[in-house]
Amino acid sequence: MPRAIVIGAGIAGLASALRLRASGMGVDVFEANDYPGGKLHAFELDEYRFDAGPSLFTMPELVTELFQLFGESSEDYFEYSRKDSVCNYFWDDGIRFAVNSDREIFVKEAAAKFGIESSLLLAYLKKSQKKYELTAPLFLEKSLHKISTYLSKDTLKAFLQMYDMGIFTSLDTLNLSEIQEPHLVQLFNRYATYNGSSPYRTPGIMSMIPHLELHLGTYFPKNGMHSITMSLYELAVKQGIQFHFNHSVEKIIVEKNQAKGIRTNNKDYFAHNIVSNMDIYSTYKKLLPDQSHPRRTLSQERSSSAIIFYWGVKKLLPELDLHNIFFSGNYSEEFEHIFDHKTLFQDPTIYINITSKENHSDAPSGCENWFVMINAPGDYGQNWQELVAQARENIINKLNRLLGIDLASLIEVEDSLTPPQIEERTSSYRGALYGAASNSKFAAFLRHPNFSNQLKNLYFVGGSVHPGGGIPLCLLSAKITSKLINSDK
């Protein structure tokens, strides 16, 4: 039986292992930590449960089809439900708005709230859908680095309409021209952060992202995001995939321009195919130090990182939902601080995820578990102790003002996560959440391919390679890579 080794048990590593196992391969997964999931992990503080990382669940079919590969029903492993409300938004001028997951309802309510023509907003969302449907088969579902990808009707159709995609303008410029109303422009600019980029630099084609939420929907997995990890891990174990936890891979073994195996802290392991779910920068620098490195790819600007506070709050706030955003009063200044000055803005945009709104057992009765995140630069040697203290003070002051509470007195338990800690725990270079930033119209093409151009039988998955970061794209990277492996085989 042909065998594959997967380096890293993040969501893309788990999905790759399952797809390769379904194709008839024996699979070993090596993970430096003592748990699967990578960033998609969970922990407890006293009576509070927190998802440690990603909190938004879209495109659940990319998870459920992994169970279908083995004739299994995903409902036997985990359950999820569609959310009626996407997110609650708060602005400094006192305006609040809850985005409904039904596109028609959202358009009607947003037009009434912000005083714009509903036809204008509907036209914007239809363009978002068109961009997604034209580009997904090219940018998200296939390798951009294989000539066969470009020899199709879908690709020709997409390229013929490329000028209308917003490739040659920024997302902010596109939103200003098509929506104009400042609150909604800021709302739609936020989607740039879904791949760790700035709306003032990332191309306007990113306006296709709202289609994922406002048409395809957002979901909540019963028992939290970590249940995605654990359900896939349970399936993998049942299918005979071997996991080696606390096994830090030290090197990819290469012989005659071919990846042959790996060296861990215990011994050498060999396989027909090697798949790295480690950050592409760390893969080359740590595991392939003697090989030629793709310097242009590795020198790309890194995506944003984050500072996260995990707060057990001894109060129920009915005005908050599962997802909540408190916008900065000066959005452009915030991104300038993050990407140009590599520091935090004193008035950050704050995201709060509260899973106890859906899963009441995640917090004690009368309390809530707050996952509080702000965008941050990667780790360039800043004084993070000082920045975290400033961020905490600024966040609390802002939430006190907008919610009319004394938050500091309500925090019962607390933990935090910084860019250096993210890098330490997940090998993400500089703590970047999405690998390279997409602050360029060529960013999609500059991402590292899902295979090695130099070393046979070496492949790559995860948020730092094509097609990008976030749970759906990581799952798609596994799908693309498994197809490449089977094709090469």
Q: What is the pLDDT along the chain (489 residues), one digit of tens a residue?
A: 899 999 999 999 999 999 999 999 999 999 999 999 999 999 999 999 999 999 999 999 999 999 999 999 999 999 999 999 999 999 999 999 999 999 999 999 999 999 999 999 999 999 999 888 887 776 777 665 565 554 566 655 655 555 566 678 999 999 999 999 999 999 999 999 999 999 999 999 889 888 888 878 899 999 999 999 999 999 999 999 999 999 999 999 999 999 999 999 879 999 999 999 999 999 999 999 999 999 988 999 999 999 999 999 999 999 999 999 999 999 999 999 999 999 999 999 999 999 999 999 999 999 999 999 999 999 999 999 999 999 999 999 999 999 999 999 999 999 999 999 999 999 999 999 999 998 887 776 678 999 999 999 999 999 999 998 999 999 999 999 999 999 887
Indicate whether 136 and 199 sit together in one domain.
yes
Say if residue 383 is exposed, middle or buried (CB neighbours under 10 Å; 0-12, 13-18, 19+). Answer: exposed
DSSP 266-332: S-EEE-SEEEE-S-HHHIIIII-TTSPP-HHHHTSPBPPEEEEEEEEESS--TT--SEEEE--S-HH
| Range(s) of the domain holding residue 370 | 43-101+217-222+304-433
> Is 158 part of a structural domain of the chain?
yes
Indicate whether 418 and 345 sit together in one domain.
yes
> Is 290 part of a structural domain of the chain?
yes
> Is 229 part of a structural domain of the chain?
no
> Is 356 part of a structural domain of the chain?
yes
Question: What is the pTM assigned to this prediction?
Answer: 0.94
Integer angstrom CA distances of residue 109 from 18, 41, 106, 115 = 43, 36, 5, 10
> Is 236 part of a structural domain of the chain?
no
φ and ψ at 340, to 5 degrees? -95, -45
Indicate whether 310 and 421 sit together in one domain.
yes
Q: What is the DSSP letter of 449?
A: P
Indicate whether 344 and 407 sit together in one domain.
yes
Helix, strand, coil distribution of the chain in percent, nearest 5: 40, 20, 35
For the chain, the domain total comes to 3
Indicate whether 171 and 129 sit together in one domain.
yes
The two structure tokens encoding residue 342: 């590599």
> Is 167 part of a structural domain of the chain?
yes
How many Cβ atoms from other residues are within 10 Å of residue 446's Cβ? 15
Indicate whether 324 and 407 sit together in one domain.
yes
Distance CA 390, CA 404 (A): 21
Say if residue 167 is exposed, middle or buried (CB neighbours under 10 Å; 0-12, 13-18, 19+). Answer: middle
Alpha-helical runs (H) found in 380-466: 384-403, 407-410, 419-426, 443-446
> Is 7 part of a structural domain of the chain?
yes
Cis (ω within 30 of 0) for the bond into 467? yes
Strand residues in 189-267 grouped as ranges (E): 219-221, 242-245, 249-254, 259-264
Indicate whether 252 and 310 sit together in one domain.
no
Indicate whether 391 and 322 sit together in one domain.
yes
Indicate whether 316 and 395 sit together in one domain.
yes
Indicate whether 344 and 428 sit together in one domain.
yes
> Is 237 part of a structural domain of the chain?
no
